[in-house]
Structure 1
Amino acid sequence: MFELQLTPRFMETDALGHINNTVIPVWFEEGRTPIFELFVPTLDLKRWNLILAKISVDFVAQIYYGSPVLIQTSISKIGNSSFEVAQQVVQDDKVVAQGLAVMVHFDYEHQRAAPIPTDIRTKMTEHLQLA
């Protein structure tokens, strides 16, 4: 499991003083960076080989400004060319949001999904956590 601690910024609040619901997918994307690095260690966009096929977010509880959050990220399923990333936001020891992203290893030159290479699949398996 990968973990990233963030401090919510004032600009991320809404009119009610909570963290705006549009912020969570941004936090989740940042939490997926270690997974991106499994595929493109330098994060060089000219060598990028991933696409985001789907995301979903469940808002479990209100998230507040002024208290750090922990983004927890793990791989929950590995297919031939795609994989699922399970994520959650924890604040004050309570899960406040959960999400799932479907990522696809992609060949941009041929514009199609490509099998996940064996060496990357091996690294991914180290972070596999089944639900």
Structure 2
Amino acid sequence: MKSISYIEDMEKWRESFSFFIPIKIRFSETDMYGHVNNVSPFIYFEEARIEFLKSIGLFNNAQNEDGIPVVADLQCDYHKQMFFNDKINLYVKANSIGNTSVDIHYMALDDKEELTLTGRGRLVHIHPETGKPVALTESMKQKLKR
């Protein structure tokens, strides 16, 4: 397997995930060659990230005056082709937590537990009116560490 810059030890990294959502590949997510279009994993990441944040009790209120999460960067590494009707489990975890942001990691495994995708992205907690970064509270940090 190729080296991935944000993963030091693949086995240790894989074992550190606990939260996942199941995803069934829809026809509309495939390209003319029949495999998953290169933009579709970013939709899977978004869906899994939202469910992860909801599961730990963060960012449930869209009208939060204290701050909202925005994606600052996002990357995906493709390891194995996926096709219409395939089923994957998309895992999500908070990998590192900063003062105003959190680095989220993603891992997709197919029904044979083989790695299909890895990814990462930074969420920045910003004030909804000013757009400036806002510090994560200690409560938020503790929820993300779980």
Q: TM-score, normalized by length of structure 1? A: 0.87
Question: 1:113 and 2:133 equivalent?
Answer: yes
Q: Which amino acid aligns with 2:107?
A: Q
Q: How does 1:20-39 map to 2 (within 5 A)?
A: 20-37=37-54, 38-39=57-58
Please state which structure has a larger fraction of its residues in strand.
1
The answer for the alignment partner of 1:60 in structure 2 is 79
Q: TM-score, normalized by length of structure 2? A: 0.79
Matched residues in 2 for 1:107 and 1:36: separation?
Answer: 18
Is contact 2:78–2:118 with CA below 8 Å preserved after alignment?
yes
The answer for the alignment partner of 1:94 in structure 2 is 114
Tell me how many residue pairs correspond in the alignment: 124
Q: Which amino acid aligns with 2:23?
A: L
- Cα offset, 1:36, TM superposition: 3.5
Deviating above 3 A after TM superposition, structure 1's stretches of 4 or more consecutive aligned residues are none
State the Cα RMSD in Å.
1.4
The answer for the alignment partner of 1:19 in structure 2 is 36
Structure 2 unaligned segments of length 5 or more: list them: 1-17
Question: 1:5 and 2:22 equivalent?
Answer: yes
Q: Which amino acid aligns with 1:24?
A: P
- Cα offset, 1:39, TM superposition: 2.8
The answer for the alignment partner of 1:129 in structure 2 is none
Question: 1:71 and 2:128 equivalent?
Answer: no
Structure 1 unaligned segments of length 5 or more: list them: 127-131
Matched residues in 2 for 1:77 and 1:34: separation?
Answer: 18
Matched residues in 2 for 1:67 and 1:39: separation?
Answer: 30
- Cα offset, 1:35, TM superposition: 4.0
- Report sequence identity in percent: 22
